[in-house]
Structure 1
Amino acid sequence: MDTAERLDLVTRHTEEVVTEDELETLLEGDDPSAYIGYAPTGEMHIGHFTTMRKLADFLQAGVDVTVLIADLHAHLDDEKSPFDLLDARSEYYRVAIEGMIDAAGADPDDVEFVRGTDFQLDEDYTLEMYRMAAETTIARTQRAASEVVRESESPNLGGLIYPLMQTLDVDALDADIAYGGVDQRGIYMLSREILPDHGGEAPVCLFAPLLSGLTGGKMSASDESSKVNLTDDRDAVVEKIQEAYCPMGEVEDNGVLEYLDHLVFPVLEQRGETFVVERPEEYGGDLTYEDYESLEADFVSEELHPADLKPAAGECISEVIDPVRERLADREDLLAEAYPEKYGDE
């Protein structure tokens, strides 16, 4: 695979690359490395899956991948995960992420998993964090973390430490590429700005798009109807997609189309399969799509009606998440330990 092919693979389904010239130079060399960090807070859902699927592209392009289970970050962000739940939630995230990587057609064994507590308590890391804290203003760190960390008029100190630690993680994990949702942009721009003064190099940054919720607009972790959970059974998935915001001919804020674009079609491509919309003969018969662009064109032209698209999308999305769902179903004990308020009584 030449550099152009690697670049196309690494950058597809991203919102922004900072910078593409730097990334191209990096891919011309040997053994580039990327990392993504996840703080183990709430349950993982289809939005996480669309981001994690990208790791299969990295691996195919010959990029070494590290997944950081950022357990300390989970507590620093307004105590979203109590200390006594960090071990269970960290293990749950690992199991779920391994399932997503497998479902995307890659081998989870090719990915290195690291927990924040494996290195973030080391003396050298801690000393550098203190140095960084002494040189970075509160206003700068708040601005960097504004899209990630829960904010208030009187924020906890942990939320200010969070972006500094995330910056140090890039160097500690020896990552050439920092990958995450576009909400992470502020933090990684801070990393590019200050890391060279603290013994590291400015990372190349790749940002995944934040997908719309099924109810239109931004996906909400607290609104069950706005997302598909990885533990949702087939009937729940189909019902959520059936009720989803998907107005005729409209692409903007259409979560159904976004999931098809960024998750379903890449997985089908990996499997060598097509997307089939079943329709009665009186309405034109079945439609078969080999790529998302053709489907979107038919949807915009109103050749493809939401009433026909939704059932097919629901079934296919359920099938895509099925391997992840099965892994988690086999670990009911882990779910109960990680989220006792939801699964503890089952």
Structure 2
Amino acid sequence: MHASQARMWRVYVFLWRTQGLEGTEYQLSREYTLDVYRMASVVTEHDAKKAGAEVVKQVKNPLLSGLLYPGLQALDEEYLKGVDAQFGGEDQRKIFTLAEKYLPNLGYKKRIHLMNPMVPGLTGGKMSASEPDSKIDLLDSPGDVKRKIKKAFCEPGNVQENGILAFAKHVLFPVLDGTEFVIERSKKHGGNVRYTTFTELEESYAKEEIYPLDLKNAVARELSKLLEPIHAKFSADSEMQMIRDRAYPDEVVKKGGGKKGAGGGGAGPDRPVDISRLDLRVGVVISAEKVWHYSGTSEQRTLRAQRFCPL
């Protein structure tokens, strides 16, 4: 929620005219639960699977949750109250189609659906939250931005599969809004080059008039400028920092590290905090011997087990 507000504030959205609503405010209600069952009774398996094809991981034997998800997102349009339109990336279009088809079956109206182009990931595939180097995070430092951009796939002359150019087209040029985009180069390599439209930049790159590293440096510089006010706002807001630390403990552990020599199953520099690494100690082992064998009577085996299981 706070990250969304910071992002909207950066592009001059009036926050006092926005309202945030958490899913738990309605997802546990009787009415919503009944509508989940109603939706499940009319949506076919084929349509549910097709709707989630681009947003739900596709496996041979999918979990039932993956089939239910598109219907749940469709119901959000009704339960978020007062919704006229839903906005999302082009990968959401099949879910939008499902909502338009099935919400009227439940007695609810169709909504307007708006979509924006998907910016390809920096590593060449789809941008993914589970692959940190494929995306630029709102809180990435200038150093992180430069590192990720430097590693990105950026083939000379390739304007089709190029995450760096995509960032310039869909993020930087709309924000620059006519302000010059400058690629800094030494005089030895032709001097600085200035562009006021993305089309000019794209044509120049296609002709290989721009070296990939020069393009990367310019994009990294402008992205860092764009994120700078968000960083400043985040640094001055202790509540936002606390929420980030609680929501993403893995990141905190990686940045802060752990105590050297901390043993057991707890967290360390390379061991993030999560429930699978819970270190629970209830006593001290003073001796150990093999007890689960088939010799002896059942009473003897029971006594041996009790020695090790006093609770």
Task: Give matches, 1:168-207, under 5 Å.
Answer: 168-172=75-79, 173-207=81-115
Counterpart pick for 1:133 among 40, 44, 54 = 40
User: In the alignment, what sits opposite 2:126?
Assistant: 218
Residues in 2 aligned to 1:263 and 1:308: alpha-carbon distance in whole angstroms = 18
Corresponding residue number in structure 2 for 1:110 = 17
Contact 1:95 1:328 in 2 (8 A): no
CA–CA separation in structure 2 for the residues paired with 1:105 and 1:291: 22
CA distance in 2, matches of 1:109, 1:260: 30
1:296 matched to 2:202? The reply is yes
The separation in 2 between residues aligned to 1:111 and 1:152, in whole angstroms, is 38
Q: Check the 8 A contact 1:211/1:255 in 2, yes or no.
A: yes
Contact 1:337 1:344 in 2 (8 A): no
Q: Distance between the aligned counterparts of 1:161 and 1:126, measured in 2?
A: 12
Structure 2 counterparts to residues 1-20 of structure 1, below 5 A: none
1:344 positional shift? 4.9
- CA separation in 2, counterparts of 1:109 and 1:283? 49
**Corresponding position: 1:335 with 2:244:** yes
Cα distance between partner residues in 2 of 1:233 and 1:183 = 28
Quote how far apart the aligned CAs of 1:315 are.
0.6
- Letter of the aligned partner of 1:191 in structure 2? A
- Length-normalised TM-score, structure 1: 0.67
Q: Within 5 A, what are the aligned runs for 1:78-117?
A: 94-117=1-24
Letter in 1 for 2:35: E
The alignment partner of 2:21 has SS state of strand
State the shift of 1:151 in Å: 4.3
Matches within 5 A, 1:227-238: 227-238=135-146
From the two aligned structures, give the one with the greater strand fraction: 1
Select the residue among 218, 227, 243 that pairs with 1:312: 218
One-letter amino acid of the counterpart of residue 127, structure 1: L
What's the C-alpha RMSD, in Å, of the aligned pairs? 2.1
Q: What is the deviation of 1:237?
A: 0.8
Q: Write the letter of the residue equivalent to 1:160.
A: L
Q: Which residue of 2 aligns with 1:73?
A: none
Aligned twin of 2:228: 322
Task: Note the alpha carbon deviations across 1:7-65, whole angstroms, 9 max, x for none.
Answer: xxxxxxxxxxxxxxxxxxxxxxxxxxxxxxxxxxxxxxxxxxxxxxxxxxxxxxxxxxx
Distance 1:186 1:205 in 2: 11
CA deviations on 1:206-250 (whole Å, 9 max, x unpaired) are 222222121222224333332222222111211221222111221
Partner of 2:26: 119
CA distance, structure 2, for counterparts of residue 103 and residue 315 of structure 1:
17
Answer with 149-158 or 126-135: which moved more: 149-158
Aligned to 2:308: none
Q: C-alpha displacement at 1:119, in angstroms?
A: 2.1
TM-score normalised by structure 2 residue count: 0.73
User: Take 2:34 and 2:21, find their aligned partners in 1: how far apart are those partners?
Assistant: 21
| 1:182 partner letter | E
8 Å CA contact 1:100, 1:321 repeated in 2: no
Q: Where does residue 183 of structure 2 map in the other structure?
A: 277
- 1:268 matched to 2:185: no
1:192 deviation in Å? 0.9
- Closer, same or farther in 2 for the Cα pair 1:127/1:207, shift >3 Å? same
Q: How many residues align?
A: 251
Provide the residue aligned with 2:147 in structure 1: 239
Q: Which one has a bigger Cα radius of gyration?
A: 2
Q: What is the CA deviation profile of residues 293-339 of structure 1, one whole-angstrom value per residue up to 9, with x for unaligned ones? A: 22112111222222321111111111112233334444332222111
Higher alpha-carbon deviation: 239-248 or 218-227:
218-227
How far apart in 1 are the matches of 2:104 and 2:143?
51
The whole-number CA distance in structure 1 between the counterparts of 2:195 and 2:19 is 35
Deviation at 1:263, TM superposition (A): 0.8
**Which residue is equivalent to 2:289?**
none
SS at match of 2:19: strand
How many Å separate the matches in 1 of 2:82 and 2:242?
Answer: 35
Can you give the 5+ residue segments of structure 2 that lack an aligned partner in the other structure? 257-311
Cα distance between partner residues in 2 of 1:97 and 1:214? 22
Q: Which runs of 5+ in 1 are unaligned?
A: 1-93
Paired with 1:344 and 1:153, the residues of 2 have a C-alpha distance of: 35
| 1:146 matches 2:53 | yes
- Secondary structure at the aligned position of 1:112 is classed as coil
